[in-house]
Structure formats: structure tokens, C-alpha cells
Chain A
Amino acid sequence: MTSDRPKKDREDAVAAVDPGQVTRLLDELHGSPELFDQLVPLVYDDLKRLGRAQRWKLGGSVTLQTTALVHEAFIKLRGHAGQTIESRLHFQRLAARVIRQLIVDYARKQLAAKRGGDQARETFEDSYHAAPEEDLIRVLAIEEAIARVELIDSRLAEVLAASLHSGYTVTEIGQMLDISSRTVVRDLKRARAWLRIELADFDPS
């Protein structure tokens, strides 16, 4: 995030993503914020696109929020990816999983705090950040439902989560999993049917 990096460098870097490089950087990430700065440009486009797809209104600084998100995401990615990251598509799959996990972790943490199990609400700001409690409960219920769908068919669950948590489009999911859009549509239809059944008495509507 040094201020004097020319914009052109960043574009070049994005154009030349080398998957091996991502992995190597990942390994060194923890101790070194400068490296982290180098990483951001590498995935900048992905994240920008991701942010757009999610329709997450970034409420201000794309750079900063995305940066924080990437930071968190990569730390989680390291956990997921004991393996090397093979391709950009692979990265996307991992990113989708990480985002799902971010949301679920957050819901769990907030709910625990709200139910008084955790007195760590040190600032007033926390209460402003929290999503409505019923949303949090719902996110966790959906998570359980997806886990059951995963038992039936793991791809079904992945397609569903990519669509729900990360807001990926049908085309994007198809590319990411190397399946046709038609298959994605079929999967999504079934997955959502299962989800509704699983949530039937959670959401009587």
C-alpha cells in the first residue's frame, strides 16, 4: 500500500498471475505486510469482480475493505490449501469457500456474543456492526442444511454455496467447476429444492 507504486505495474502484475507465485507468497504472508501488499495486485481483479458479484455494497473504500477481506481470506486459504493452488480457477473455488466460512464464522461469533456467552463486546461499535439476530440464526441453519445436501452430493453443495454466499453467476460457477451452465442450472434447482425441504419448518413460508 505504499503510495508511490505506479498504476501500470499493478496492471501488468494482474495480467501475469503465476499460480506458483501466489502459493509462494501465501507461505510467506504471515510475517510480512510488504509481501501482502505485493499480493493484493495479483488478485486485485478477482476480488474486485468478486465484490461486484456479491453485490456487497462496499460502503466506501473498495481498496481498504477488499484489502482487509483478502487478508482474512488468505489466512484462511492457507488453512484450506495444504495443497498448492493450481490455477486461478482453483483459487476462485477456494475463495468461495473462504467467503462462506467468513460469513458463517461471523454469524457464529456474533450469536455467541449476543447470547452473553462472550463478554468481549468491548466497544459500542460492535452493536452497530451486528446483523439482525434472526439473520444470524438463519445463516447457521442454512449452513447445517448445506451440510446435509453435501452428504447427498458434494458438488451440489458447492454450487449452492457459491451462489448463495459469494453470489457467483451460473457462468462463473460453470467455469470454476468446469461444468456446463446447463448442469449448473440443474444442480441449483435441485439444491434449492433440498434447501427448502431442510428448512421447511424453520421457514414455514
Chain B
Amino acid sequence: MSRDWKRPRLTLARRRLLDRLLDRLLELDETARERELAAIGARASRVHEWLVELLAASTAPTDYLDTVFERVGQAAQRDVRDRHEMVLPQGTRIGPWRVESAVGSGGMGTVYRAVRADDAFDMVVAIKLIRLRLDSLNDRLKLERELLARLDHRNIARLIDGGTTGDGQAYLVMEWVEGRNLDEYLRVCAPAQERCMDLFARIAEAVAHAHQRQVVHGDLKPGNVRVTDSGQVRLLDFGIAQLIDGSGQAGMIEQGGMTPVFSAPEQRRGEAISTQSDIWSLGVLLVWLLGGRLPEQWSSTPAADFLPAGLERGQDLAAIVNMACREDPAQRYQSVGQLLEDLDSSRRYAPIRARAATRGYVFGRFLRRHRWPVAAGAAVSAGLVGAVIAVGWQAQIAGMERDRAQVERDRAKLEVARTRQVSDFLVDLFEHADPGVARGEPMTAEQLMENGISRARELNRQPRIQSEMYLVLGRVQLNMGDHDRARELTSAALNLTDTDPSASSLEVARVLVQLGDIRLQEGAPNESARRYRQALALIADDRSELRLEALNGLGGSLLSGGEAREEAMAILTEALDMCRQLAPASAVAASIHNNLGAGFYYGGRYAQARQHFEQAIDLLIARFGDDHPRVLFSQTNLAWLLIELARFEQAEQLLVRLVESQRKVLGADHPHRAANLHALGSVHWRQGRADQAIAWWQRSLVAKTAAYGEKHPDVASTQNALALAAVSKGEIEQAETLYQQALDTLRAPDTKTTIRLPSTISNLGDLRVVQNRMAEGEVLYREALALYQELTGGRHPHVGVAQRKLAEVRLADGDLDGAHDWVESSLETLQAVFEDPSHPELENSRALLEAIELQRVEFE
């Protein structure tokens, strides 16, 4: 050490002397030690001073020494580990695979190229041996592998296999992708901006596909993107980051698991990752792809500032990157789909979400896209429009995909920027108008619609064109959420078509189907069923998408009516069969899947329900993008199903995303959103988090009351839930009030009986049981069970739970035989519903059965 010492250095001889003396002194008891010390002090005062100091030092605490070595020791060990990654020799067997060579080593472990060991078939794979061996990892791996295996996308390397080696190391087997890593590709091929944008779009689409299946990538970076020799993009390592992240190993990032410069801020902080984290990484990846030089570490400089100068549409790109890379995950794009939409819009000089959607900006884009002034069409002559439609109609029908126009009623306000199908329709009108005449103020979509309608009204002399116009405008009104207007226009179209002898039955049927759609959305399923049946009668032998739509509509109506589920399912199944041949990837296919899912869901057949919901979502996203109301609708169904399946984490993730998207797309008080707020409460409740559950339920109650008023079955169901929570908090009076309010609504004579009624009755029964008013409880339970059986057909978890509750009251009454019978019925019901034998409801019933049998034994 180069510093100055306070004391003169001791010679070695002196040190040895002091050490010997110290050893002796330490062996003495205190009085003897004092005496000896004093004697030494009398002879040699310097030695005495040193000894006093050494004695004091010998008893001073030195704990810090241990902690220093613990810290440095750990760091050294990590260092050693990283420098000596074990490399498996060629020929090593991993499961059914045989290692050929190590091809790389990343944060998670070493990657090997391998082939089938048994030569059963020719297959080259990449095996990733996960470096960390976590006890929890293997369980998780099993669970998640199924999920990962469902990723089926041309731009995602497939997960083929996975497992644990004999010595307990987890591995994943992935499709082997020949080609280059993205960084190498960029270096060697130096692609132009447009090509880079294409590559990025492919990557983002793949990520969107995965997000749809609740798989987060978690480690998006150039090293995880391969470009094949034919120029295809393939993403590697999907979901692996999350796999490890979710295994409770929070220090993973610190240990080099992720790549900090591409990791979102929350990820670098070691917080849970989400789809939003991937969006952040995509933003950075975009900067990198476009030639930006990324910093070593992020400071406060926004990511977009690293974009190189001179890019085409640079301002758009900066805005897009900024929106993707917002510090707060909630402020980023809500989905990868939105990001892609913006990129696409930017390419077409359409307005983008990331830039302030001011009117000036939006219309600036609008004008630029069309290159000549298109504004108010007030002066467009009726004759001209008529001519346009007469010649352009067929093309227009073909070009304007019917299903694309089928936006839910919920999107109340359509702006030109956000509803391509509307604007395209109107733009078409304008584009054929005389540009020289079009002058004036910019207009909203609604105003443009008004013009369209008034122009259509002037087409009296051309009834066929007029009816087509009414039909299309009616469809648009339906999309805009104006049911009255939509019905009026479509009915007018029906009158015209019906009275027109030259109209084909197909044309009439099309109008009828649209009328059915409107009635169904208005909540009049009997009326809509009638319309669909009329349409089907006209096209009995037809095999068109129209027939599919009619069948699907009829099935949906019957399900909504709730009385003819079997017929509904038969019709929907027929529709699906036909759809598979006719239009397997169409929007109507999605709708059929969704309705079938709903049917299975109502019937308690959850596995089938889940399959159908997921297929519906896939199709819808491929068709409409992530945030479309129809996507949100089907996702809501899936989320609720996940709750029933006790997959709470997944359900919660999905729901949180949904309520956020719904707030933006549908508004804060929309009934669908209110329902999901309620579901979020339930997710927390089912996991024992009463306070959070109450908070969500209260938000839901506010939204529902705003949407429906105070007396509505939906409001009652949230009151029921809040009452349940009140009981758990000991607020019995509050609970009684809430139950009373809910039951008043639900038992009202004009209210249709739904599952909510027995659910509330059963909960009130719980309260009575807690209050030890067993007889009252039992009466309520029996009523609930009867209603459940009537409403569900008997094969439903609620039935099983009600039966168990009856077993519990019988048991409390000392009636072992009665209790035994009920719990056995309960198990029978639940086993029929849940495929997963470890479902908590099944476990509960099994536990009760054991308890009853135990008591029986003791009794005998």
C-alpha cells in the first residue's frame, strides 16, 4: 500500500515478538492479563502500547469482512461461470437429439446444432441448453411449452421439443434456420430503407401473432432475428425470456440474460415484462435497423433522437419510435398492430396515430394522398353520382369487402382517419366527382354521410341503385352505431327490393340478413332470428358467404335468446363445415367460431370453447388488426373463459389490456368495458385479494350504472359481487343492502331469468350459513341449484358448486349420508366439466368428500 502509516513500520522481528506476547496474553484470564501487561509496560512502553491496541483489535467485530468476501466471491464466481461455459462435445445425446456442434452462446446458455439421434427422420434443429437450473423452471417449462408450441407463424422459428437432461438441465429444441443474423445481414447486404421497413414489418407481425397468444418475446434484438438466404425473416427464442423471468429469478437480467440496450426500462429494472416491453424493444430495433447508432446505455435522450438524418418520412418515423419507446408502458402503443398500422399509414401518407391527430394534420394527409383538393361535396350533382354508381357498383362491391365494413355498432364516432372502410367509400364518391367543383371546408364522416344519404334520396328514378345505396349506407350507419338510422335505411332498401319484380332472391336475402344483423345488435334476438330465417328460406340451396352469414346470424340469435342452444349449435356447426370449404379465413368464419365458443362456454364445455375463441381471435386479428372492437369482443370472451379455467394470471393480463383498449376505442363507460372491469374484480377475488377486487368492482358498478341506469341485471351482478366482498370484510349490513338491491332487480317480473339470479341467491345462502342460519341457507341453495340446472342443463360448474354447498349444510346438520350424496353429485358434475383434474373446484369437492368419509369412519 502506498499510503502513509500513522505509526512507524514494525520490523519483522518486532512483529514476531508482539505476536508471541499476544498469544500468551490471550490465554490468560483478565486479572492475570492486566498484571502481565503492566509488567511489560514497566519494561517497554512501545511494546505495551502495541499490545493494548492488538488486544482491543482482537475483540473488535469484523463482520464486514465476511460480507466483502461474500460479494466479491459471488461476482468472481459469475465471472468464472461466464468464462467457462461448458461446451458439450459432438455426439452428446440430449433427449432424442444428437449434438453436432456448438453454434453460439448467449445470455441464456449455449446453442447447439443437432440432429435426430435415431435417424428416424432427417431433421436439423437448434437446441438451447438453458444455463440456469431452476427448480421452478422445469415445471414452468412444461406448462409454457404447450403455449409456445402454438406459435405458428411463417416468421417465427418453431419450438419443436423441450425437456430436461438427465442431470436436470432444461433445454428447448427449435427449428434450425439457415441464414444470417440480422446484424450480419445488415452489414453484408446493406439494404435500402424500404427493405429495412419491410423486414421490420415482418418482425413486428410475428411479434403481434405471439402477443395474440399471450406469448411475450422479452428479448427482441438483432441476434434473435435470422434472415434466410431467400430473404425471409425468422424470429428466434420466443417467450424464453418470459419463461425465465416468470420463474421468480429476478436477477436474471443482471446475470446477463437480456440485452440491456434493447430491453424496456421496466425490464432493466427487473420488473415483470409484458407485451408492452416488446413494443419498446421493437421501437429500438426500428432505430437500429434504419441505421441509428444506439448508445451503450440509455439516458434521458429519447430513442428517436438516435435515428439517422435524411430518412424518408423521418418525422413520422421519429413519432412512431417515440410512441413505441415511451417510458411508461401504458403510454406506448397499445399493441404491435397499432404500431404496424402507423407504419403502413405513414408509407401511404395517411395520418398516423403517433402524431397529434389534429384536423390540419389529418386533412393534410388526406389531401396529400389524393393529390387534389377533395373537400365538401355539396356541389356534386346527383346525376353524376348515379352514373358513377351505375358503372362502378360491381367493382365497388367486390373491392369493398363486406366483412371489413362490418364494424361493431360500438365504434360510435368514426373519423375519416380511423375508418378506412367509410372513408374509402366516401373518397370513392369524391374521386369521381369533379375536382374543380369541390371546394370549401373539410367535413366530418358524419357530414359526409349526410350528403350521401340525401344524394341517395334523390335517386328516385333509379330504384335499384337507390336500394343499393340505402343498403350500403345502412351498413355504414350500423357501423357508426346509429341503429335507428341503419334500420330505417335498410328497411327502405327492403321495400324497394321487395316490390321490384326484377330483384333476385339473393338480393332480397342480402337485405334481410342486414336487417337481421341490425336487430341482433339492437338486442332483439327473436326478431333477428325471424329475419335470418326469411333470408335462409330464399337461398335454401345456395352456398355463398351470404348463406354463411345468415346461418351464423341465426345461430347467434338463438344463443342470445337462450332458449334453443342445441338448435343454435347444430346450425353453427353446419355453418362452420360449410365455411371450411367456402371461406376458411373470412370474417364470417371468425364470427362463427366466436359464436360456437360462446355456445360451448354457456354449456360449460370449456376446452372446446377456448379453441373456438382462439381461432376467432386469430382470424379477426389477421383481418382487422389488434384493436378492432370485434377482436376486443372475442378476447373478452376468452378472458372470461380463462377465469373459469382458473388461469388467473393470463386472464388478468388479457383483461388489463382489454379495458385499456376498450377505454380508447369504446369509451370509459361502455357496457363491454364495464363487464371487463367486473371480471378483473373477479380475477382478484378468486385469488384472495379482496381489496383489489372491491376496487375493480366499484369501478365497474360506476360504469355499469352510467351505461344502464340503476335497475339492470348487469348492475345487479356487480352488486352481488360487492355484497360477497362486504361479507368477507364483516360488513354484513352493507352486504344485506346490496343483496336486496340485486335480488329486487333480478326477481322483477319483467326481467328475464339468467344465471345471475341463482348466483346471487347462492351467495345470500352463503351469508345465512355464515350467520349460522343453516335452514335458511339450505332453502336458498336448493333454489339456486334448481335455477342453475334449469338454466344450464345441469352440466355446469355452478351446478357442481351448488351441490357441494348443499353437502356442506347437510354435513353441518350432522347428516353424513345426505352430505355424502350431495358431494358425490358435485364431483360427478365437476368431473364432467373440467378436464384438468387439479382444478380448484374439483379439489374442493374432493377435500370435502374426504372429510365426510373420515367423519363416517370415526362415527362408525
Residues of A within 8 A of B (CB): 1-5, 33-34, 54-65, 67-69, 71-72, 99, 102-103, 105-107, 110, 123-125, 128-132, 135-136, 138-139, 141-142, 144, 148, 151-153, 156, 164-165, 167, 186, 189-190, 192-197, 200-203
When distances are taken between beta carbons in the complex, the residues of chain B under 8 Å from A69 are 77, 80-81
Question: Can you list 13 A-B pairs, Cβ within 8 angstroms, ordered by A?
Answer: A1-B92, A2-B166, A4-B93, A54-B73, A68-B86, A72-B83, A103-B69, A106-B80, A131-B71, A153-B19, A156-B19, A193-B22, A195-B65
Residue contact B6 to A129, C-beta cutoff 8 Å: no
Highest count of chain A CB atoms <10 Å: which of B73, B167, B251, B255: B73
Residue contact A33 to B167, C-beta cutoff 8 Å: no
Q: Complex Cα distance A138/B72, Å?
A: 10
A68-B12 contact in complex given A34-B89, A59-B255, A125-B256, C-beta closer than 8 Å: no
Q: Complex Cα distance A56/B78, Å?
A: 11
Q: Indicate whether B168 reaches chain A with its CB closer than 8 angstroms.
A: yes
Residue contact B93 to A56, C-beta cutoff 8 Å: no
When distances are taken between beta carbons in the complex, the residues of chain B under 8 Å from A56 are 70, 73-74, 77
Residue contact A55 to B80, C-beta cutoff 8 Å: no
Closest 6 CB pairs of A and B: A61-B133, A3-B166, A193-B58, A106-B76, A60-B132, A196-B57
A194-B54 contact in complex given A2-B92, A129-B78, C-beta closer than 8 Å: yes
8 Å CB contact of A190 from B58, B81, B255, B256: B58
* Chain B residue nearest to A99 in the complex (CB): B73
Shortest distance between the CB of A77 and any CB in chain B (Å): 14
Residue contact A190 to B131, C-beta cutoff 8 Å: no
Q: Complex Cα distance A1/B255, Å?
A: 23
Q: Indicate whether B88 reaches chain A with its CB closer than 8 angstroms.
A: yes
When distances are taken between beta carbons in the complex, the residues of chain A under 8 Å from B70 are 54-56
Q: Complex Cα distance A186/B746, Å?
A: 83
Highest count of chain A CB atoms <10 Å: which of B23, B77, B249: B77
Residue contact B60 to A196, C-beta cutoff 8 Å: yes
Residue contact A138 to B62, C-beta cutoff 8 Å: no
When distances are taken between beta carbons in the complex, the residues of chain B under 8 Å from A105 are 76
Residue contact A72 to B84, C-beta cutoff 8 Å: yes
Residue contact B6 to A139, C-beta cutoff 8 Å: no
Residue contact B133 to A63, C-beta cutoff 8 Å: yes
Highest count of chain B CB atoms <10 Å: which of A1, A57, A193: A193
When distances are taken between beta carbons in the complex, the residues of chain A under 8 Å from B88 are 1
Q: Complex Cα distance A189/B60, Å?
A: 10
Residue contact B131 to A64, C-beta cutoff 8 Å: yes
A135-B72 contact in complex given A61-B132, A68-B80, C-beta closer than 8 Å: yes
Contact mask B1-30 → A, CB, 8 Å, 1/0? 101011000001001100100110011000
Residue contact A106 to B72, C-beta cutoff 8 Å: yes
Residue contact A164 to B69, C-beta cutoff 8 Å: yes
Residue contact B65 to A124, C-beta cutoff 8 Å: no
Q: Indicate whether B328 reaches chain A with its CB closer than 8 angstroms.
A: no
Shortest distance between the CB of B724 and any CB in chain A (Å): 42
When distances are taken between beta carbons in the complex, the residues of chain B under 8 Å from A201 are 3, 5-6
Shortest distance between the CB of A160 and any CB in chain B (Å): 10
Highest count of chain B CB atoms <10 Å: which of A3, A69, A107: A3
When distances are taken between beta carbons in the complex, the residues of chain A under 8 Å from B166 are 2-5
User: How many pairs of residues, A versus B, come closer than 8 Å at their CB atoms?
Assistant: 184
Residue contact A152 to B72, C-beta cutoff 8 Å: no
Q: Complex Cα distance A58/B70, Å?
A: 11
Residues of B in contact, count (CB < 8 Å): 68
A103-B93 contact in complex given A68-B84, A71-B84, A164-B66, C-beta closer than 8 Å: no
When distances are taken between beta carbons in the complex, the residues of chain A under 8 Å from B78 are 59, 129
* Chain B residue nearest to A151 in the complex (CB): B12
Q: Complex Cα distance A69/B74, Å?
A: 11
When distances are taken between beta carbons in the complex, the residues of chain A under 8 Å from B27 are 186
When distances are taken between beta carbons in the complex, the residues of chain B under 8 Å from A167 are 66, 69
Q: Complex Cα distance A100/B44, Å?
A: 38
Q: Complex Cα distance A136/B89, Å?
A: 36
Shortest distance between the CB of B171 and any CB in chain A (Å): 9
Q: Indicate whether B254 reaches chain A with its CB closer than 8 angstroms.
A: yes
When distances are taken between beta carbons in the complex, the residues of chain B under 8 Å from A62 are 133
* Chain A residue nearest to B15 in the complex (CB): A152
8 Å CB contact of A164 from B65, B84, B85, B93: B65
When distances are taken between beta carbons in the complex, the residues of chain B under 8 Å from A68 are 77, 80-81, 83-86
* Chain B residue nearest to A51 in the complex (CB): B77
Q: Complex Cα distance A136/B69, Å?
A: 9
Q: Indicate whether B259 reaches chain A with its CB closer than 8 angstroms.
A: yes
Q: Complex Cα distance A33/B85, Å?
A: 12
When distances are taken between beta carbons in the complex, the residues of chain A under 8 Å from B83 are 68, 72
Residue contact B12 to A152, C-beta cutoff 8 Å: yes
Q: Indicate whether B296 reaches chain A with its CB closer than 8 angstroms.
A: yes
Residue contact B86 to A64, C-beta cutoff 8 Å: yes
Residue contact B169 to A131, C-beta cutoff 8 Å: no
When distances are taken between beta carbons in the complex, the residues of chain B under 8 Å from A129 are 75, 78-79, 82, 256
When distances are taken between beta carbons in the complex, the residues of chain A under 8 Å from B3 are 201-202
Q: Indicate whether B53 reaches chain A with its CB closer than 8 angstroms.
A: yes
A190-B22 contact in complex given A56-B70, A139-B69, A164-B69, C-beta closer than 8 Å: yes
When distances are taken between beta carbons in the complex, the residues of chain A under 8 Å from B80 are 68-69, 71-72, 102, 106
Q: Complex Cα distance A153/B12, Å?
A: 11
* Chain B residue nearest to A61 in the complex (CB): B133
A151-B86 contact in complex given A3-B94, A125-B256, A128-B254, C-beta closer than 8 Å: no
Q: Indicate whether B544 reaches chain A with its CB closer than 8 angstroms.
A: no
8 Å CB contact of B86 from A1, A152, A192: A1
Residue contact A33 to B77, C-beta cutoff 8 Å: no
When distances are taken between beta carbons in the complex, the residues of chain B under 8 Å from A151 are 12, 15
Shortest distance between the CB of A198 and any CB in chain B (Å): 9
Residue contact A192 to B58, C-beta cutoff 8 Å: yes
Q: Complex Cα distance A201/B255, Å?
A: 35
A136-B12 contact in complex given A72-B80, A129-B82, C-beta closer than 8 Å: no
Shortest distance between the CB of B596 and any CB in chain A (Å): 44
When distances are taken between beta carbons in the complex, the residues of chain A under 8 Å from B93 are 2-4
Residue contact B19 to A190, C-beta cutoff 8 Å: yes
When distances are taken between beta carbons in the complex, the residues of chain B under 8 Å from A55 are 70
8 Å CB contact of A152 from B19, B77, B134, B168: B19
Q: Complex Cα distance A3/B54, Å?
A: 55
Q: Complex Cα distance A64/B87, Å?
A: 11
A64-B73 contact in complex given A142-B65, A193-B54, C-beta closer than 8 Å: no
Q: Indicate whether B309 reaches chain A with its CB closer than 8 angstroms.
A: no
When distances are taken between beta carbons in the complex, the residues of chain A under 8 Å from B6 are 200-201
* Chain B residue nearest to A65 in the complex (CB): B81
Q: Complex Cα distance A130/B74, Å?
A: 10
When distances are taken between beta carbons in the complex, the residues of chain B under 8 Å from A2 are 92-93, 166
Shortest distance between the CB of A134 and any CB in chain B (Å): 9
When distances are taken between beta carbons in the complex, the residues of chain A under 8 Å from B26 are 186, 189-190
Residue contact A63 to B132, C-beta cutoff 8 Å: no
Given contacts A3-B165, A139-B72, A203-B64, 11 further A-B contacts (CB under 8 A): A60-B131, A60-B255, A64-B81, A71-B80, A110-B75, A123-B256, A128-B255, A135-B71, A142-B68, A164-B66, A193-B55
Q: Complex Cα distance A110/B75, Å?
A: 10
For residues 80 through 130 of chain B, which have their beta carbon under 8 Å from a beta carbon of chain A? 80-89, 92-94, 107
Q: Complex Cα distance A196/B69, Å?
A: 16
When distances are taken between beta carbons in the complex, the residues of chain B under 8 Å from A195 are 62, 65
Shortest distance between the CB of A138 and any CB in chain B (Å): 5
Q: Indicate whether B261 reaches chain A with its CB closer than 8 angstroms.
A: yes
A33-B87 contact in complex given A3-B166, A129-B78, A189-B58, C-beta closer than 8 Å: yes
When distances are taken between beta carbons in the complex, the residues of chain B under 8 Å from A135 are 68, 71-72
Residue contact B57 to A197, C-beta cutoff 8 Å: yes
Q: Indicate whether B561 reaches chain A with its CB closer than 8 angstroms.
A: no
When distances are taken between beta carbons in the complex, the residues of chain A under 8 Å from B463 are none
8 Å CB contact of B75 from A67, A130, A153: A130
* Chain A residue nearest to B1 in the complex (CB): A144
Q: Indicate whether B373 reaches chain A with its CB closer than 8 angstroms.
A: no
Shortest distance between the CB of B135 and any CB in chain A (Å): 10
When distances are taken between beta carbons in the complex, the residues of chain A under 8 Å from B297 are 124
Residue contact B57 to A193, C-beta cutoff 8 Å: yes
